[in-house]
Amino acid sequence: MSLAKQSANEGSAKQVFAKQGFVHRPWAPLVLGAGIIVGGTIIGLILGSVTDFGFTRMSLILITTVLLLGLGVVTGTAGMIALCQLSFAAAGAYIVEWMSLHHVASFLGGFAFVFYMICGAAFAMIMGIIVGLPALRLRGVNLAVVTLSLSFVFDVTIVTLGFPGTKTNEFIDRPFGIGGSPEDKDTVWVALFALIVTAIIAIAVVYLQRSRWGSAWKMVAFSERGTASSGTNVRFAKLTAFAVSAGAGGIAGGLFEALYRQGNPTLFGPYSSLVLYVLSAIVGSYLVDMAFFGGVLSVVIPFILTRLSWPMFIGDMLFGVLGIQALTTGSNLGEDIRRGIRRRSREAKLAAVSEVLHDTGAVASVPIPKGTGRPLLVVKDLGVQFGAVKANSNVDIVVTEGTILGLIGPNGAGKSTFIDAVSGFLPHHTGVVELDGVALDNKTPSNIARLGLRRTYQQDRVPSTVTVGAYAKFVTRGKATRAEIDEVLDFFGCPTYYTPLSLVDVGTRRLIEVATGVAAKPKLLMLDEPAAGLDHEQHIAFGERLRQVPTKYGVTLLLIEHDLDLVRSVCSEITVLNFGEVLASGAQDAVLNNPEVLKAYMGETEML
Amino acid sequence: MRISKKAIAVVGIAALAAVALTGCAGGGGGAATGTPILVNSITDTKGFPEAAAVAAEVFKEYNAAGGFNGHPIVLKTIDAPTGDVNAAKNGAADSINSKDVVAMVGSSTFGECAINHQSYEQAGMVAFQGVGVDTFCFTTPNMASANNGPLFDIYATAWNAIKDGSVAPCFVANSGDPSTSYGYTQVVKLITERTGVKWADVEIPQQTAANDYSGAVIAALGHKCDALVFGGVHPVVAAMIAVVASQGSKLPVYVQTSCYDPGFPADPAVKAYAGKVSVPAEFAPSDDASNADFNKVVKKVAAAPTWSYSFEQAGYLAAKDFIMTLEKVKGDVTRESVAAAAKDDATWPDKNPMRGNPWVFGSGNEHQANSSTYLAEIAPGSGVWTSKGPWLQAADMQWTNIPAVPPAG
Amino acid sequence: MREDFGPPAHDSLSRYFPYTLQERTEKMIIVNGFAGLTQGAFFAIIGILLTLMSQLTRVVNFSQLAVGMFGGFVGMTLMMNPDIQLNIWLALVVSIVISAALSGIIGWIIATWLPSAPISNRSAVTVAALLLIVSTASVLFGANHSNFTPIVSGNVTQFTIPGGQIVFVSQSLVALLALAFVILIASSILLKRTMFGVRLRAISDRQSAAELIGVNVKVLNVGVWVISGALISLAIGFVPATISNDYISFSLLIIGGSAAALVGAFKNPWLALVGGLLIGALQGVCSAIPQIAPYRDWVVFILILVFLLWNQRKEVWDVAR
């Protein structure tokens, strides 16, 4: 591909992306969510006034929506199994009831209840953090066991303590002087109050999900390692998700109090939390509209059963069947519906994306960077042992600032183990690792990333649930402006800022991983076979871009690569690993012509 | 039999889907000609279905015989599983919002009175509880239960133990809410004040999802009790008796009326027990002639073999109590006129022979409407209840009503 | 709060008691702790089965107790039906067959649709299965006022401890412990000494690799599920009548069992045995002390959590790279 054609292609690439119509619509989910809630409530109000649906049910739909929105953050977005959502609701309800009965803030008038609800939510959040701190060190299914146990012991506690009002047969006042009866004339106002609260929670959850916290939750669901090596503390990401979810649970508990005016422990038992989790999985409750739909299901199905005089448990049977279906197929109603709606436009956009990538070509050619001569990364006597296997031993490597070091070797030579050890994932390695004079040996992966040592992965670590821009923002951690991110994406021929990563193929995602890694401006970026998904022409183009990185962006590179053409075209120095030990190290020519290297490595796979 | 039930369930799910799609809704219909008198029952249909099922059958017969001045009584059962607070709340709200529902009859869901008593009071609706469990079923102006309730009943249970000569009884009863815990502690005090007998031990474990009270029973056994007073429903008490047996004891055990059904003595743990088991049954024992009509009615209900005889009797009587009240109504049958008739202290007919005392709703703030018990025992290993009698009245035992929560102040 | 209200009620009741609070706390600790071992042995069996399943089929089976409960109710219904009155041993066989089949179906669903999904995705399915089974049991079997009939009852022996209390060793405890050891020893022989076991371990390590060498992964997976369902049903047959069998609370005994499995970090079934027995004994001891009896589950929960944190302090990262 000629340079002329290349630049022409670049122009057309931009045009194609512009034509794709991936524009920023910050209001879109809001409008969708708010519209569905408001629309649904209007329908509910009409239903409630003309039939015996009743406003208690409408209120319950909204309360369940809030519970599911919270649960969606922790199970849907952050990918954890949490089986104690109603324990948080119980905590919130308990606080609201206690404060109401003790008139803690009665000087606030109608807003006193709102204040109590906020306190309840705060308490639930604190409880979430206290439980989360130890529990979130446990991964995946252990967390499920711990949260299920928690819901059980918390149930015991609430039964033992009893809600404050049940001890004296007192009922709290509803907010804003709403009358206290279960009749429609009063509960219609409760439903409206719940609507406003639900709308606020929905908006808050949407914005949180689009924030860097939200990206971190999605990232943690996809890959804990990927999260850590982007400089985000995995436990912090999980804890924020758990706390936000608990806070929403606490708010829902407050709404229960607004509706029922007195708590009842059986409302919050472990079985109910199980049902809620399954419901969340069925609908995909991290989506606002689907959380509302989940609320509708949880209320309308029992309503139909009541009308038919059928047992309530049939509703749970239905949830069980749908839950098994949803969890085995890994899909949910929300995604299915969205996929259905978008299929057509998506296919067109997908075609455009792949066309652009095939057009990606070279940029102005620069020589292989020589560097400043100052040692940036110094690794001395590094050793890693898995059981009896020595994956790395006595590895000494120095990366000079401003250069691209190639790390090569046959499969299983210990290259990726080396990166893992240096980036902090193998804390029990021996030897010394220093970056710019700072020892990294006892630091966590996220700290190491923040100190300026970043890495990419052989496997796909880019979550498909966010846009390119959200991912870039997450990875760069505020180190790059929007313009800089756009520039780097463009430089590497990546899709534009608002492109959903779900439309991008794996090879391109690897490219995006490299580009965003560069945009984060680390001192050293370690690339683990970044070009594996690219064809030969793309390889060459990619190499020409890599050569510019040290001078253009001030980022030193360490490159693991099998394609020796690429290595030869970008690396001034090369280190060869074999059986976990350094076989050869030094200038490109010297290493590649070293007979030892030829014998041990090249001979068996590729010819020079 | 079960297999066909399963088939029905499968067909049922399909039908539910079909009905939900077509948007139809079912409803009960009466055989009599006049405008139906609507009553609702909030019932755990998969936990305690007996009372509502038998009450519905009583109304069916009543309607066939002409109903109330030509108006059939239609009972609608709303399912609210134990622990499903939302279902119980919605059931009450639906009943209250539907102005044609004149009263609640035959409800039996664990804790339903505690959940809904305030709503019924506000709405001026009276409730003829089938099996009232929590203490609010007996301490709310608008509620009167067919059964005698856990507090009166466990008082009678303890009374029988002391009457049998116990000088150091132990008390173990599980409680699902603070109100019941409070009630039990008051019963414990009251019985000591009345009889002078001190308890060897009192254990009131909280009812939790684990539903296991072995620890409390063993702790009690460590106090050299000479009799055991157990509170709880059949499975819980049978489990408690199994614990007693496992500790090598054959102390006499005194259980609550909820255990008075043929299944209890036949329960393997009870049948194997080497000691005497005694109950103060709240209604006439099964071999009593006064049950003739009840037995006839209950045969028409497709009762499962695991159903409780006592709860069935309660449902039968709740329906009869409602009819009795209805016949006192002056003018149109409305929610208000039914409530007025119920709260009227005068002109209640003589007692139904299935009870030991005349049942009166009346104007009081508390309603221990059923306040008599009939002694029955299980001889060790016999596998059956043996009626002993005689009727024991509240006054005989110097019983005084216990409030649901501590009096204010 | 008024002083004579709500638990713990014991202080205010002092004038109705012939002893002080301190006396009663000390009396029954050992007896209660020992009695707790029976339930502990049941937790241990659940924990062992959970551990073996987690090792062999990469799943934490939350529906395990529900599966056994369902089989038990089918058997009990046949026993109690006046038209059938099935013999208790036949009823046990029916229970085992039903539980095994039900377990196999869940296993088949997971093996078919989620063959290589992460353990948490596979386990999540069993949460939904738990819900389905509990609600189906409620609808099908309805009002239940009877506990499961154990196939063993009575005591094996008794001995007197210092202080004069008598400790009883129940047949249930002996039977459950024997079953636990049989499962442990048989599984370790099976896994280490037989071709079947070697294949099982192969699929748990490298599923795709095992497929490549011609091992039928799905059949083996479902086989483990079937055996586990049968074993839990057999164990329920030994469970003493001191545990009442409400659909939900019985199914949620999985919480105690999974806590036992957590002690062995879902890796070591022997530690799950120890964990189960410890949890049972500890709960028994706590229930003898009225001040902490209502919070005895917290005691266990916190201890498990602390143990787990200590046990897993070194592991930080999700997958191997």
Closest-CA residue of B relative to A156 is B208
Q: What is the pLDDT of residue B29?
A: 46
B14: contact with C, CB 8 A cutoff = no
Pick from B108, B193, B211 the residue to mutate for testing the C interface (most C CBs within 10 Å).
Answer: B211
Structure tokens at A195: 């609507």
A153: contact with B, CB 8 A cutoff = no
Give domain status of residue C187, yes or no: yes
Give domain status of residue C69, yes or no: yes
Per-residue pLDDT reduced to its tens digit, B153-175: 999 999 999 999 888 999 999 88
Instruction: Tell me which chain A residues have a C-beta less than 8 angstroms from the C-beta of B90.
Output: 54, 56-57, 60, 302-303, 306
Long-range contacts, stretch A419-424, CB < 8 angstroms, 24+ apart: A419/A455, A419/A526, A419/A528, A419/A558, A419/A560, A420/A384, A420/C321, A421/A382, A421/A384, A421/A392, A422/A377, A422/A379, A422/A382, A422/A453, A422/A526, A423/A229, A423/A448, A423/A449, A423/A453, A423/A455, A423/A526, A424/A228, A424/A448
Closest-CA residue of A relative to B11 is A314
| Chain B nearest C-alpha distance from A293 (Å) | 16
Amino acid (1-letter code) at residue B349: P
Give domain status of residue C207, yes or no: yes
Q: Clarify whether residues B176 and B211 are in a common domain.
A: yes
B238: contact with C, CB 8 A cutoff = yes
Tell me which residue has tokens 């132990």.
B170
Q: Clarify whether residues B102 and B172 are in a common domain.
A: no
B82: contact with A, CB 8 A cutoff = yes
362-421 in chain A: CB under 8 A from chain B: none
Q: Which of A79, A139, A311 sits opposite C139 (nearest CB)?
A: A311
- Cβ-Cβ contacts under 8 Å between A and B: the total is 140
ipTM: 0.90
Q: How confident is the model at residue C144 (pLDDT cuts 50, 70, 90)?
A: low
Q: Which of A156, A261, A313 sits opposite B81 (nearest CB)?
A: A313
Q: Are A229 and A423 in contact (CB under 8 A)?
A: yes
Q: Clarify whether residues B201 and B218 are in a common domain.
A: yes
Number of domain units in chain B? 2
Q: Which of C7, C128, C306 sits opposite A323 (nearest CB)?
A: C128
Chains linked to C by 3 or more Cβ pairs within 8 Å: A, B
- Cβ-Cβ contacts under 8 Å between A and C: the total is 163
Please provide residue C19's backbone torsions phi and psi, each rounded to the nearest 5 degrees.
Answer: -145, 170
Amino acid (1-letter code) at residue B261: D
Per-residue pLDDT reduced to its tens digit, B313-355: 999 999 999 999 999 898 899 999 999 999 988 888 878 899 9
Q: Clarify whether residues B12 and B136 are in a common domain.
A: yes
pLDDT greater than 90 at residue C126:
yes
Global pTM reads: 0.88
Q: What is the pLDDT of residue A347?
A: 58
Give domain status of residue B357, yes or no: no
CA distances from B189 to A289, B155, C14, C170, C243 (A): 56, 10, 10, 36, 30
Q: Clarify whether residues B169 and B228 are in a common domain.
A: yes
Compare C303 and B35 and report the one with higher pLDDT.
Answer: B35
A187: contact with B, CB 8 A cutoff = yes
Q: How confident is the model at residue C27 (pLDDT cuts 50, 70, 90)?
A: low
Cα-Cα-Cα-Cα torsion B261, B267, B272, B274, nearest 10 degrees, comes to -30
Q: Clarify whether residues B330 and B276 are in a common domain.
A: no
Q: How confident is the model at residue C83 (pLDDT cuts 50, 70, 90)?
A: confident
Give domain status of residue C13, yes or no: no
Structure tokens at A271: 């079985």
Q: How confident is the model at residue C14 (pLDDT cuts 50, 70, 90)?
A: low
Give domain status of residue C1, yes or no: no
Which of B323, B343, B363 is at the close of a domain? B343
pLDDT greater than 60 at residue B51:
yes
Instruction: Tell me which chain A residues have a C-beta less than 8 angstroms from the C-beta of B206.
Output: 156, 159-160
Compare C100 and B208 and report the one with higher pLDDT.
Answer: C100
**Distance between CA atoms of residues A208 and C197, nearest Å:** 49
464-493 in chain A: CB under 8 A from chain B: none
pLDDT greater than 60 at residue C65:
yes
C321 and A139 in contact by Cβ < 8 A? no
Tell me which residue has tokens 């008794």.
C158
> What are the structural domains of chain A?
56-341 (1.10.3470), 375-452+522-605 (3.40.50.300)
Question: What percent of chain C stands above pLDDT 90?
Answer: 40
Averaged pLDDT, C103-123 = 90
**Exposed e or buried b for every residue in A534-563, given b needs 16+ CB within 10 A?**
beeebbbbbbbbbbbbbebbebbbbbbbbb
**Containing structural domain, residue C282:** 20-309
Q: Which of B87, B181, B208 sits opposite A312 (nearest CB)?
A: B87
Average pLDDT over chain B reads 86
Q: Clarify whether residues B33 and B120 are in a common domain.
A: yes
Give domain status of residue C319, yes or no: no
| Chain C nearest C-alpha distance from B289 (Å) | 25
Per-residue pLDDT reduced to its tens digit, B211-251: 778 888 888 888 888 999 999 888 889 999 999 998 888 99
B381: contact with C, CB 8 A cutoff = no
Q: Clarify whether residues B196 and B317 are in a common domain.
A: no
CATH of the domain at B321: 3.40.50.2300
Q: What is the pLDDT of residue A201?
A: 92
Per-residue pLDDT reduced to its tens digit, C158-173: 888 887 778 888 899 9
The residue ranges of chain A whose pLDDT is under 70 are: 1-26, 29, 48-51, 135, 138-140, 342-364, 601-608
Q: What is the pLDDT of residue A15?
A: 40
pLDDT greater than 50 at residue B24:
no
- Please provide the DSSP assignment of C180-210 as one string: HHHHHHHHHHHHHHSHHHHHHHHHHH-HHHH
Instruction: Tell me which chain C residues have a C-beta less than 8 angstroms from the C-beta of A238.
Output: none
Q: Clarify whether residues B79 and B18 are in a common domain.
A: yes
CATH of the domain at C192: 1.10.3470
Region of A402 (left: φ > 0; alpha: ψ -120 to 50; beta: rest) is left
**Distance between CA atoms of residues A420 and A422, nearest Å:** 6
B243 and C24 in contact by Cβ < 8 A? no
Highest-pLDDT range among A404-413, A499-508, B109-118, C64-73: C64-73
Give domain status of residue C33, yes or no: yes
Instruction: Tell me which chain B residues have a C-beta less than 8 angstroms from the C-beta of A269.
Output: 83, 209
Compare A462 and B144 and report the one with higher pLDDT.
Answer: B144
Pick from C46, C138, C255 the residue to mutate for testing the A interface (most A CBs within 10 Å).
Answer: C255
> Which residue, among A77, A68, A144, has the nearest Cα to C128 in the 3D structure?
A144
Amino acid (1-letter code) at residue B282: E
Give domain status of residue B222, yes or no: yes
Give domain status of residue C280, yes or no: yes
Q: What is the pLDDT of residue B155?
A: 95
pLDDT greater than 50 at residue B5:
no
pLDDT greater than 80 at residue C257:
yes
CA distances from C23 to B170, B301, C289 (A): 16, 53, 10
Give domain status of residue B224, yes or no: yes
**Distance between CA atoms of residues B403 and B395, nearest Å:** 18
Q: What is the pLDDT of residue A322?
A: 94
Q: What is the pLDDT of residue B151?
A: 92
**Containing structural domain, residue B108:** 2-148+289-343
Q: What is the pLDDT of residue A244?
A: 95
Q: Clarify whether residues B170 and B144 are in a common domain.
A: no
pLDDT greater than 50 at residue C8:
no
Long-range contacts, stretch A233-236, CB < 8 angstroms, 24+ apart: A233/A444, A233/A446, A234/A446, A235/A136, A235/A137
Structure tokens at A383: 């050793």
Question: What percent of chain B stands above pLDDT 90?
Answer: 48
What is the dihedral sign for C-alpha B246, B250, B254, B260?
positive
Q: Clarify whether residues B209 and B267 are in a common domain.
A: yes
Q: Clarify whether residues B332 and B217 are in a common domain.
A: no
Per-residue pLDDT reduced to its tens digit, A268-314: 989 999 999 999 999 988 888 889 999 999 998 999 998 888 889 99
**Distance between CA atoms of residues C275 and A144, nearest Å:** 18
pLDDT greater than 50 at residue B3:
no
Number of domain units in chain C? 1
Q: What is the pLDDT of residue C320?
A: 42
